[in-house]
């Protein structure tokens, strides 16, 4: 039976990196007989320019009706002054909300070939294998907000952070389930020394933990967690946290592996899942053909694994990425003396050749 993939390239490097990932999916299809079909849709600034909205209804409808969504990135300076509700970023936020994607899995695993290229010392990085389970459709991202109001003679703006018990319960359950299939440890990250939402978060996670006594649970404040990621990243197995903390910690954790361009993610909910690299549209390198495609290619591997249940094909794609790196291919974000200079196209070709 044919499986339909909705491809949403978006803005900036989005087009370049999704093209690379689709090439890899096509090759995997030929090898493993996956019967994939691709359906392209606009989102972000590109969609705003064409249709006056960053998330056309038909894009969301197509995503909902597909077997999996491959997303590039949205955003760029060009749209920084558009009305806040029409910003390109609203496209990805709208897709997450519209598809009910409450959990975002961001794995950080450092290929042996890259251990010495991390800005952290190799002995700290060797063996890092963690996953951030980020709550994705709640918290301050989706609370009430006010762009501008006058109070006591001064202009102010506000964003409201709120979490309900069911929202925390479901993400905590997913974190414990994830840990059960890994090394059996969850670190819940909050700011419960200050925030009411974090105190509700912590007590809800503890309650859910009663159903998962075979998994170890500890808690860290987010500021300490940010430090621990740099001091001893191997201590982490599953990090479970809210939307904003997860956003910030995952960019930090990405550096452990050498470049944010390497990091994939899976956003999952009740139905169709969405797969995207954790980085953005990289306006500084867009159009130059030098973006690292691996984060998006590994996101496509996650699509194969989670949405299509094609574990063999997923593992083959991951192995091909590892092999291309082990063989010395490097896009500029990772290149140092002695390695093979690659751009998006030649890096992708190196991966295709090894698949």
Instruction: Verify binding: residue 20, ligand NAD, rule CB under 6 A.
Output: no
Range 67-96, binding ligand NAD (CB under 6 A):
73-76, 89, 92
Backbone angles phi, psi at 173, to 5 degrees: -60, -45
Binding partner of 93, given Mn ion, ligand IPM, ligand NAD, none, CB within 5-8 angstroms per partner class: ligand IPM
Task: Considering only the stretches 135-143, 180-188, 198-206, 283-291, report the one whose residues sit in contact with ligand NAD under the rule CB under 6 A.
Answer: 283-291
Which two three-digit tokens encode residue 249? 């910690």
Residue closer to ligand NAD by CB (options 216, 255) is 255
Residue 80 designated active-site: no
Count of CB atoms situated within 10 Å of the CB of 237: 19
Residue closer to ligand IPM by CB (options 138, 280) is 280
Do residues 168 and 199 lie in contact, with contact meaning Cβ atoms separated by under 8 Å? no
- Burial of 63-74, coded b for 16+ CB within 10 Å and e otherwise, reads beebbbbbbbbb
Residue closer to ligand NAD by CB (options 105, 215) is 105
Residue 218 designated active-site: no
Beta bridge partners of 70: 7, 275
Residue 223 designated active-site: yes
Task: Considering only the stretches 60-68, 119-127, 291-299, 317-325, report the one whose residues sit in contact with ligand NAD under the rule CB under 6 A.
Answer: 291-299
Which two three-digit tokens encode residue 286? 């867009």
- Alpha-carbon span 338 to 355, nearest angstrom: 24
Residue 29 designated active-site: no
Query: Which residues of this protein are in contact with Mn ion, per CB under 5 A?
Result: 247
Range 87-126, binding ligand IPM (CB under 6 A):
89, 92-93
Q: How far is CA 112 from CA 107, 118, 119, 258, in A?
A: 15, 11, 14, 12
Q: Give the residue at shortest CB distance from Mn ion.
A: 247
- Which residue in the list 77, 211, 218, 223 is annotated as catalytic? 223
Instruction: Verify binding: residue 324, ligand IPM, rule CB under 6 A.
Output: no
- Alpha-carbon span 261 to 254, nearest angstrom: 8
Task: Considering only the stretches 95-103, 173-181, 222-230, 281-289, report the one whose residues sit in contact with ligand NAD under the rule CB under 6 A.
Answer: 281-289
Strand runs (DSSP E) across the chain, as ranges? 3-10, 36-40, 68-73, 103-109, 129-135, 145-151, 154-159, 185-190, 216-221, 238-241, 266-268, 274-275, 329-330, 340-341
- Alpha-carbon span 58 to 35, nearest angstrom: 24
Instruction: Verify binding: residue 278, ligand IPM, rule CB under 6 A.
Output: yes
Do residues 103 and 171 lie in contact, with contact meaning Cβ atoms separated by under 8 Å? yes
Range 241-260, binding ligand NAD (CB under 6 A):
260
Active-site positions read 141, 191, 223, 247, 251
Residues that bind ligand NAD (CB under 6 A): 13, 17, 73-76, 89, 92, 260-261, 276, 279-285, 291-292, 295, 333
Q: Which residues bind ligand IPM (CB under 6 A)?
A: 75, 89, 92-93, 247, 278, 280
């Amino acid at each position: 039976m044919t499986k339909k993939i909705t491809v949403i390239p978006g803005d900036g490097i989005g087009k370049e990196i999704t093209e690379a990932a689709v090439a890899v999916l096509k090759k995997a299809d030929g090898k493993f007989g996956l019967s994939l079909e691709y359906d392209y849709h606009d989102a972000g600034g590109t969609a705003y320019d064409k249709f006056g909205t960053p998330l056309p209804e038909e894009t969301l409808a197509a995503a909902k009706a597909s077997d999996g969504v491959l997303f590039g990135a949205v955003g760029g300076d060009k749209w920084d002054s558009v009305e806040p509700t029409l910003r390109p970023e609203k496209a990805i936020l709208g897709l997450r909300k519209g598809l009910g994607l409450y959990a975002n899995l961001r794995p950080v695993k450092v290929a042996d070939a890259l251990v010495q290229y991390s800005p952290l010392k190799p002995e700290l990085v060797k063996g890092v294998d963690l996953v951030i389970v980020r709550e994705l459709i709640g918290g301050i991202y989706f609370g009430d907000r006010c762009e501008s109001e006058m109070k006591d003679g001064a202009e102010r703006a506000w964003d409201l952070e709120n979490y309900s018990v069911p929202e925390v319960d479901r993400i905590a359950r997913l974190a414990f389930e994830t840990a059960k299939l890994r090394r059996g440890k969850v670190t819940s990250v909050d700011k419960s020394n200050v925030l009411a939402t974090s105190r509700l978060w912590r007590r809800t996670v503890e309650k859910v933990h009663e159903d998962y006594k075979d998994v170890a649970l500890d808690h860290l404040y987010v500021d300490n967690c940010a430090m621990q990621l740099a001091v001893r990243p191997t201590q982490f197995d599953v990090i479970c946290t809210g939307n904003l903390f997860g956003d910030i910690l995952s960019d930090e954790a990405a550096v452990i592996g050498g470049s944010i361009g390497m990091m994939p993610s899976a956003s999952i909910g009740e139905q169709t899942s969405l797969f995207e690299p954790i980085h953005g549209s990289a306006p500084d390198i867009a159009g130059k053909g030098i973006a690292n495609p691996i984060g998006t290619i590994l996101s496509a591997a996650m699509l194969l694994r989670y949405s299509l249940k094609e574990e063999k094909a997923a593992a083959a794609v991951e192995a091909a990425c590892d092999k291309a790196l082990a063989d010395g291919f490097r896009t500029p974000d990772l290149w140092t003396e002695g390695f093979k200079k690659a751009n998006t196209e030649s890096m992708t070709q190196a991966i295709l050749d090894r698949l």
